[in-house]
Amino acid sequence: MGQTLTGLLTSVRAIAGRPGTQTRARPGDGPDPGLLAALRHCGDHLAALAASGPLTDARRTRLIASIGALTTACSTPGADAFDALLRTGQQALDSGGDAGARLALALADEATALRARSKGAWRLRGNALDALGRSEEAITAYERHLALQQNTAASRDVERRIATLRAAGDRIDEALALALVGNGEEARYGEEDRGRGGGGAAGGGAVRLSRRLPAAEARAAFTELVRLRTTERGAADPAVRRLAALYAEHRRLSDRDLMADPLLGGAEPIGVPGLRRFLAGRTVCLVADTPHTAEQEQRPGSSLAALIEGYDLVVRCDAVRHAAPTARTDLHAVTLRGDSPWKGPRWDRRATARLVFGDPLPHWRLALRSRLVPGAQDRIGDATLRRPLHDPALLAETADADGPASTAYTVLRLLDFLGTPARVDLIGFEGPAALPPREREWIGARTGTTDDTAVRITLR
């Protein structure tokens, strides 16, 4: 094999040149400059393999054979070497190790430059970036692949991988928020903060943790953050327990893809970061479920119906008894009240996303699995969103002796905390639908404008 490898390297150098060779203009029917650049990357890899000694790994043997096929295609006039390029990139990825992944990424870069609309090239690039631990870049490449992929069945594994990478990043974002809250700092931070590396000071030193870090570095930084917080506050601290749970979830997601819970009816679980993205830059209205509002919504030409339709997101709460079953609902929120386990009618109103508030956790999970209707929602809030008013990672308020807050108030406080909607309005919350005095006081302190004709309250 050593002799064959040396001969192949000679052929590659003869066609593509040596490292540092300037890319030549394409002569007649000769290889595209992008293919020549790809061959030079292959030559560099072959040279490193030749210097490493005898080859006994079957995966590397297959890679060498694939490079040979690519070399033949590049040297054959009129041949289309693009498929051979993609196969070589996949074999490089399959050969394992960072060197193989770097070669696969280099070939994928040349492939996407040659054919920007090749779904195979973008998937190869996503796989290579994923193997190198560059998760955010991998998501971007995977999304380009999905935009070009027409076969939805063939794209499910890519969609699942994107969900896994995002979920792992969301655990990091929530851990950073916990760390900042624990230091008495503001928990809200944006993309700019995460792009700088994020992280809160711990024990006199800064912990560098960000979802944009390579996977290995992120795991090491996450481990250090948990160690520092545990040392500072002890393992019994609620925030430390939550941080440890996030760390365990992040490690699990790093080891295997996110699996859909068959008992959630195919809905995608979303946490705090996912909800923040869902709301970002959108106008939101909470619509009270009253006979008058419902009648106005259904009346043709109604100004109130036109007003509600103009919002990006329409939120409805609890059991919607008056609005028509077809009334638009982008976000449905419900609070589990009374003694647990909670039983009741199934949530069959169609909604893009559904939030279910309740505690304790085991009964909350049981309620979700018994009352969610498959296909009635695309997203379902996960356990990190089940008690936003009292969760130490969110609003961290003490429980009210008068019982759970209204669902509308809980949603408003959560939206205010997340801070990403462009605007939040309440419609129809007057008369019988008026909120309790304590909740009205909080709303009044944040009211920017009121509109009596539309019975609308706009929060600042």
* pLDDT over 70 at 260, yes or no: no
In this prediction the pTM is 0.57
Write down the pLDDT at residue 455.
53
List the beta strands (DSSP E) in 141-270. 201-202, 205-206, 268-270
* pLDDT over 80 at 307, yes or no: yes
Write down the pLDDT at residue 50.
82
d(CA 412, CA 416): 6
The chain-wide mean pLDDT, for the chain, equals 82
Using DSSP bridges, classify how beta strands 423-427 and 205-206 pair: parallel, antiparallel or unpaired. Answer: unpaired
Taking only the tens place, the pLDDT of each residue in 76-108 is: 887 788 999 999 999 998 888 889 999 999 999
- Cα 278 to Cα 121, 331, 362, 415, 417: the distances in Å are 29, 10, 26, 11, 14
List the beta strands (DSSP E) in 128-266. 201-202, 205-206
Mean per-residue pLDDT, 276-285 = 92
**Position 311 confidence tier, pLDDT thresholds 50, 70, 90:** very high
Write down the pLDDT at residue 26.
46
**Position 140 confidence tier, pLDDT thresholds 50, 70, 90:** very high
Q: What percent of the chain has pLDDT over 90?
A: 31
Write down the pLDDT at residue 184.
46
Taking only the tens place, the pLDDT of each residue in 322-363 is: 888 888 999 999 999 877 667 788 898 999 999 999 988 888
Spell out the alpha helix ranges (H) of 52-116: 58-75, 82-94, 97-114
Write down the pLDDT at residue 195.
40
Write down the pLDDT at residue 424.
92
**Position 127 confidence tier, pLDDT thresholds 50, 70, 90:** very high
* pLDDT over 70 at 182, yes or no: no
* pLDDT over 90 at 31, yes or no: no
Provide the β-strand partners of residue 426. 286, 457
Neighbours of 174 (CB within 10 A): 23
Spell out the alpha helix ranges (H) of 351-394: 361-371
**Position 2 confidence tier, pLDDT thresholds 50, 70, 90:** very low
Mean per-residue pLDDT, 20-35 = 61
Q: At 219, list the tokens.
A: 């795991």
Q: Which of 149-153, 168-172, 438-442 has the lowest mean pLDDT?
A: 149-153
Q: How far apart are the first and last CA of the chain?
A: 72
* pLDDT over 70 at 111, yes or no: yes
Write down the pLDDT at residue 114.
93
Count Cα atoms within 13 angstroms, Cβ side, for 132: 23
Q: What is the chain's alpha carbon radius of gyration, rounded to the nearest angstrom? A: 28
* pLDDT over 70 at 191, yes or no: no
